[in-house]
Structure 1
Amino acid sequence: MFIREKTTKNKATGTKYIKHQLVRSYREGDKVRQEIVMDLGRLEIDPKDYKKLAQILTMRLAGFESLFEGDLELKSIADKVLSSFSVTQTLRSDREVITKDAEFLNVNTSSLEASDIRRLGPELIASSFYDRLKIKEQLLRCGLSEKETAIAKAVICARLVAPSSDLETHRFLKEDSALYELVDQDLSNIGKDAIYEIADAIYEAKDSIEMALIKAENELYPTNKRLFLFDLTNAYFEGRTLGNDLAQYGHSKEKRFDCTLVSLALLVDDRGLPIYSHIYPGNQSEPETLGDVLSSISSHLRQGLFSEDLPTVIMDRGIATYDNIALIESYGLSYLVITRANAARHYLAELRQGKDTFLEIKNSSNESIYIKELGDGMGVEMDGKVGVAEVEVAEAGAEVEVAEAANESLGVDSIDAGLQVAGPQVAHPQANHSLGGESLGIDSMDTAPQVGGPQAKHSPSNEPQANHSNRAQPYASDSMDNKIKQILCISERRRDKEEAIARGMQTKFQSAFDKLADSVKRGQYSNATTVASRIGKLKQEHRSIARRYEIDAITGDDQKVKELVLTEKPKVKEAAETLYGAYVIETNRNDLEPEEIWKLYSHNTLKCSNEPF
């Protein structure tokens, strides 16, 4: 069947009318005849679609659905035609004739097979932006050939669509993706070596490519807002990495401590677009990388790539050391960070006042966040001695070590060791070392620079050190012209997460203590020195939770330890629980309000999947 357009004319008025008919051809003897199956009225569709509509109507009349039913416009027309018009004459052989004209075949669907299926959707988007950023033109300027630029486009888009290794990218391009059809060169026969080689060629031109991309991005997405987020991550190798100087063992963020790593430093703007990148050895210290980034920003500023407003650098707490903050300000830049040490612990008084004294705002998930700007008079007040408030703070935080009282002795009754012998006591030259733990550095693994508050650590003579600060200090020095703003924040979701972590640590600590206590009760450990050593090891392995408890060793007349008793420190527990979900954001952007500061940090860190809750 087919659709025929027919024109008629009104003899009186001369007006022409157009209508359409569904017509079928049939053979009668040696002649081919045509008959009108139905009138369709006037169709307002592209003549190219007449054939599709005719097939839909033919199948409908035969009691079936056509493959073209997916075209909603044609389906709608067919529905209207079949409901509004009647068949003009009885079909000569009715259903059998129509079925014969449709040429139906019986097919065993289980025998159908599909081959060489390729994905294309995400690849089209990646290819479109690749072309809009004019990456090919930049690669040609860097000396790559036409074929190399084609391979580069395929590899870059493949890495964007399905991030993986060079070897897996080669397999993806050969077997899964239609990217080879989106380039202007025949790449169907390239081997995996070409994938490895193009990555090296692109990396050699990295600096000029990054510069060109910044210019192209500014043309496509102009903005006067300049916020830069800087962070580091690492990737691990599963091979032997022989001869690779960058492959080093370090702290794997994916917990693959058995593999060598490389570190990647990345600076992006507020839109998530990259500004600078650099590959470092896997054991690279995070704080030491900031100098290279600031040098790159300075170079971009000199070339006029950014607006007149100087950028604000947003950093993770792992990079935000005193020296780095001073370095940022020496470049005349602003900064915004979550303080590196747990500065919130210095504001227990503010946290204990309750959420009613905070400003409530909502995050992107409509969850409540409570914020308060910290003034100069807030924080832990010090009088030259180790006070109760600081004890609670230091014991609750995992970063600072202080004695519980300034006049306590560190013999067998050592608070540091957490071992108090209730009964006849045994003195010995090794008492401080075997029981104390902290005297030997057993509990001094927190080597990160302390930021944002008073500190008191043990001297070799175990006397408390004098503190020169009477409040939690910001990163910047008091001599700087810009006033430093600190925002105390409370997140309910973060609180729930930290509570869950603490419960897990509590369970592990309790299990380890019960095991040690059972060994003492059975007489496996009874010597005071040995028991003290075991307690020191227990406190070292579970330090953040162990600070909340006293461990008493009960001895008998024979001066042997008979029993261990675990006693909770209520004040320390209360202080720790008060700190759940709390953190401090610091900035030298004096023009921003507290809510703006929080949103600025959270909005930009979320773009890099590093949500601060």
Structure 2
Amino acid sequence: SSEHAMPDWIRRTALGDILQEDFSELADEALYRNLDRLHPNREAIERALAEKEKTLFNLDDTVYLYDLTSTYFEGQATANPQAKRGYSRDKRPDCKQVVVGLVVDRDGFPKAHEIFDGNTQDRRSLDQMLDALEKRTGKKLGATVIVDRGMAFEENLEQIRKRQLHYLVAGRQSERNQWLEELENDDGWEQVHRTPSPRNPFQKKTRVEIKRQQKGDIVYLLCRSEGREEKDRAIREKQETKLLADLHRLQQRVAKGRLKKENKIQRAIGRLLERYPRVARYYELSYDAVQKNLSWNELTDKKATAKKLDGSYVLKTDRQDLTAGEIWRTYILLTRVEDAFRDIKSPLMERPIFHHLQNRTQTHIFLCVLAYHLLAAIEHRFLQAGVHSSWGTIRDQLRTHQVISIVLPEDHQGRVLTIRKATTPEPEHRQIYATLGITAEVMRPLKSWQVSAGSDEKNSKS
């Protein structure tokens, strides 16, 4: 996806032979100009693609999955007003970034994407994203929108309801705490039947239990996960260790007089609370300005409650027609967006961004989304054929089908013949091409004559 590296990459491939195009003079400036031409047509292309894919693959349009990621810049990007510092999912808080929102359907096909300022909070993006989705796909009354807890605020749920859509979200921690008694009660739970992914048949799935509850028009699904319990505990312990280490360092700075002004001390405390929000709530911090002493107390009751809730989470929806198992399996589809972001960032290589202009940044990301459309279509076609291969596996298998050059000795006229031809496809290559509905004969042999030095005859190709 790097426009700067694209000319060199193309010349190292057989793309010119296959397409019978001469890319020897291709330069990155031409690609940059094409970005500028493409920019005003992004929405129309995305809308047409969504409609075409729905028809071509008979896609379901009753469930939409929405999530956000960020992608960072190399350089200051001063000419891009959207480039700002914010929460970095790439763990690059030192770099400016933009936030990318993506909606996919239950089969993983992109439906709409939007690019937000780099400091955009998750909860502030949903309304604009729903507008974009409606522009790309039209009104889909009764469809279900799935988002994670970062957007599960009441104002966002109200926006979903106003559009006559349904929602399925992960409840926020405050809501989970309200269900502590039911989460601890071992009655009424059912185990989710989880099968390993066909791509990883030997994967061991951890135990997940669910319990359906209803309050008024809202259905809550209480969930307990063994795998998540271990993860929650490990994250909390790691964060707590870091918080306490930073508190001790701050305490020493205050005690030794390296940090004297109370307002600066309070700001330092505030930064620690922001840095470790998951565990800072279990401690009460205080600063004695007279004694110049920073101290803290562990809130044992809060911490004990957190331990009890390890591995548990709550889903909520206004879909009263769904069973407990259907709610859980539908929400788990949200991993399709995470998979999409993982593919867009690597192997489609969206990041880092070297463009300085806003329109080129937006079109660069759009090209990565276009590439993901193709990736999703390829994997879906294989899935329809009963082959559970990822794009990475398919690409690696095709690496051995190559184009070679055969150079024959000079003839009696002093000419050298070069033949460019594809190697004979192996059975696995033929299976891939057949699944995609394309011929295994990727190109016809190309002959070129080169006249040795001193001859007046011209080079020729056939």
Q: Please tell me the TM-score bracket, short chain as reference.
A: 0.5 to 0.7
Contact 1:348 1:579 in 2 (8 A): yes
Q: Deviation at 1:490? A: 1.8
CA 1:575–1:259: 2 relative to 1, 3 Å = same
Q: Across the two proteins, how many residue pairs are aligned to each other?
A: 328
Residues 505 and 208 (structure 1), Cα distance of their counterparts in 2 relative to 1, 3 Å cut: closer
Q: TM-score, normalised by structure 1?
A: 0.47
1:331 maps to amino acid: R
Q: Which residue of 1 aligns with 2:159?
A: 327
Match of 2:389 in 1: none
Aligned equivalents of 2:42, 2:239: Cα separation in 1: 45
Q: Which residue number corresponds to residue 240 of structure 2?
A: 506
What is the rounded CA distance, in whole Å, between the counterparts of 1:341 and 1:494 in structure 2? 15
Equivalent position of 1:165 in the other structure: 2
- 8 A Cα contact 1:513 1:538, kept in partner: no
Query: Cα distance 1:603–1:364, how it changes in 2: closer, same or farther (>3 A)?
Result: farther
2:189/2:210 contact within 8 Å kept: yes
What is the CA–CA distance in structure 1 between the aligned matches of 2:295 and 2:97, rounded to whole Å? 45
Provide the C-alpha distance between the structure 2 equivalents of 1:542 and 1:239, rounded to a whole number of angstroms: 28
* 1:251 maps onto 2:87 in alignment: yes
Tell whether 2:36 aligns with 1:205: no
Q: Is contact 1:342-1:583 (8 Å) kept? A: no
Matches within 5 A, 1:71-220: 164-175=1-12, 177-183=13-19, 185-220=21-56
Contact 2:103 2:133 in 1 (8 A): no
Q: Which amino acid aligns with 2:304?
A: E
Deviations 1:498-521 (A, max 9, x none): 21111112323443455677789x
The 5 Å alignment of 1:432-511 reads 483-511=217-245
Once the two structures are superposed, the pairs formed by residues 179-578 of structure 1 within 5 Å of their partners are 179-183=15-19, 185-299=21-135, 302=138, 310-354=142-186, 357-365=188-196, 366-376=205-215, 483-512=217-246, 540=273, 544-548=278-282, 568-578=298-308
SS at match of 1:167: coil
**2:150 is paired with a residue of what secondary structure?**
coil
Counterpart of 1:361, as a letter, is: V
Equivalent-residue separation in structure 1 for 2:329 and 2:147 (angstroms) = 14
Q: In 2, are the aligned partners of 1:272 and 1:608 still within 8 Å (CA)?
A: no
Name the CA distance, whole Å, in 2 between partners of 1:565 and 1:247.
39
Deviation sequence 1:369-409 (CA, Å, 0-9, x none): 12112343xxxxxxxxxxxxxxxxxxxxxxxxxxxxxxxxx
Residue matched to 2:318: 588
Runs of 4+ in structure 1 off by over 6 angstroms are 516-520, 522-525, 532-535, 550-554, 563-567
Q: CA deviation at 1:595?
A: 1.0
Q: Deviations over 1:50-101 (max 9, x none)?
A: xxxxxxxxxxxxxxxxxxxxxxxxxxxxxxxxxxxxxxxxxxxxxxxxxxxx
Q: Distance in 1 between matches of 2:131 and 2:297?
A: 54
Give the structure-2-normalised TM-score.
0.61
Q: SS at 1:609's partner residue?
A: helix
Deviation at 1:570, TM superposition (A): 3.9
SS of structure 1 residue aligned to 2:169:
strand
CA shift in 2, pair 1:240/1:273, >3 Å: same
The alignment partner of 1:485 has SS state of: strand
Describe the SS at the equivalent of 2:67.
strand
Q: Is the 8 Å Cα contact of residues 360 and 368 (structure 1) preserved in structure 2?
A: yes
Provide Cα deviations, 1:352-374, integer angstroms capped at 9, x if missing partner.
224x5422114454221121123
Alpha-carbon distance between aligned partners in 2 of 1:294 and 1:551, rounded to the nearest angstrom: 41
Identity across matched positions, percent: 30
Shift of 1:494: 1.7
* Whole-angstrom distance in 1 between the partners of 2:120 and 2:131: 18
- SS of the residue 2:210 aligns to: strand
Task: Determine helix, strand or coil for the equivalent of 2:237.
Answer: helix
> Deviation of residue 205 (structure 1)?
1.2
The residue that corresponds to 1:460 in the other structure is none
Q: Deviations over 1:267-306 (max 9, x none)?
A: 1111111111222322334333333333344445658xx7
1:542 Cα deviation after fit? 5.3
Residues 282, 298 of structure 2: 8 Å contact kept? yes
TM-fit CA distance, 1:336: 1.0
Partner residue, 1:385: none
Is this contact kept in 2: 1:339–1:585, CA < 8 A? yes
Q: Distance in 2 between matches of 1:552 and 1:248?
A: 33
**Aligned to 1:599, which of 314, 329, 343?**
329
Partner of 2:168: helix, strand, or coil?
A: strand
- 1:218 offset after TM fit, Å? 2.0
Higher relative contact order (CA 8 A, sep 6+): 2
Closer, same or farther: CA 181–592 of 1 in aligned 2, 3 Å: farther
In the alignment, the residues of structure 2 paired with residue 241 and residue 280 of structure 1 have an alpha-carbon distance, to the nearest angstrom, of 15
Segments of structure 1 that go 5 or more residues without pairing to the other structure are 1-163, 377-477
* Alignment partners' CA distance in 2, 1:240 and 1:551: 37
Conserved? CA contact 1:234–1:264, under 8 Å: yes
Note closer, same or farther for the CA distance 1:572–1:251 as it changes in structure 2 (3 Å cut): closer
Measured against aligned partners, the alpha-carbon deviations of 1:157-214 in whole angstroms (never above 9, x if no partner) come to: xxxxxxx422133332233x33333435322321111222223323321122112212
Q: Classify 1:610/1:339 alpha carbon distance in 2 versus 1 (closer, same or farther; 3 Å).
A: farther
Select the structure of larger CA radius of gyration. Answer: 1
Distance 2:268 2:78 in 1: 43
